[in-house]
C-alpha cells in the first residue's frame, strides 16, 4: 500500500506535455518532444535533503524554498528499435540564512541550482500507437 501511494503521489506531482504524431505510422512518428515539471526530483530526495540538513546547523537557515524540477527531452526515431536524442534538466532550491541562532538578522539568501545536459539513446521493445516500452542510456554532464 505504501509503495502504491508513493507512485500515485509521484504521478500527481509531475506535469508532462508531449508532442508526437498520432496516426500510428512509425515512419510518421520520427520526432518526439516532451516538456515536464514537478516540485522536486529524485536527485533531491537522494542528495539534496542532506545539504538542507547540514546547512540547517551550519548556516542557521530558514524559509527553504524549492523552485521545482523542469526538463525538456527530444528524440528522433532512426529505426523501429532505436531513438536518439538529447535531454536537459534544471532544478533549484534556496533558503535565507542568518548570522545567529535567534535568526534576528538575515545575512543573505543562498540558492542552489542543479543543471544537466545529456545525449540519450533509447532501445524500443514494443511500439504501438498508445504504448511504448523501451530502455535507454544517457550520458552527459551535470
Question: What is the average pLDDT value for the chain, to the nearest integer?
Answer: 78
CA-based torsion, 126, 128, 131, 132: positive or negative: positive
Q: pLDDT tens-digit profile of 99-122? A: 666 666 777 887 888 899 999 999
* Residue predicted with more confidence, 12 or 2: 2
Q: What is the pLDDT of residues 10-22, one digit of tens each?
A: 555 555 555 455 5
Q: Which of 1-15, 44-58, 119-133 has the lowest mean pLDDT?
A: 1-15
Q: Any long-range contacts for 98-102 (C-beta under 8 Å, 24+ apart)? A: 98/59, 98/60, 98/61, 98/62, 99/60, 100/60, 101/60
Q: Strand 31-38 and strand 61-79: pairing?
A: antiparallel
The band of 59, judged by pLDDT with boundaries at 50, 70 and 90, is: low
Amino acid at each position: 500500500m505504501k509503495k502504491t501511494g508513493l507512485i500515485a503521489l509521484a504521478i500527481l506531482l509531475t506535469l508532462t506535455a508531449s508532442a508526437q504524431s498520432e496516426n500510428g505510422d512509425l515512419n510518421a512518428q520520427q520526432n518526439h518532444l516532451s516538456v515536464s515539471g514537478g516540485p522536486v526530483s529524485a536527485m533531491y530526495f537522494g542528495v539534496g535533503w542532506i545539504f538542507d540538513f547540514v546547512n540547517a546547523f551550519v548556516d542557521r537557515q530558514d524559509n527553504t524554498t524549492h523552485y521545482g524540477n523542469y526538463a525538456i527531452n527530444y528524440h528522433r526515431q532512426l529505426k523501429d528499435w532505436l531513438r536518439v536524442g538529447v535531454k536537459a534538466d534544471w532544478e533549484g532550491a534556496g533558503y535565507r540564512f542568518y548570522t545567529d541562532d535567534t535568526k534576528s538578522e538575515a545575512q543573505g539568501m543562498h540558492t542552489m541550482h542543479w543543471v544537466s545536459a545529456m545525449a540519450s539513446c533509447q532501445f524500443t521493445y514494443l511500439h504501438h500507437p498508445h504504448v511504448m516500452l523501451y530502455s535507454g542510456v544517457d550520458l552527459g554532464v551535470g
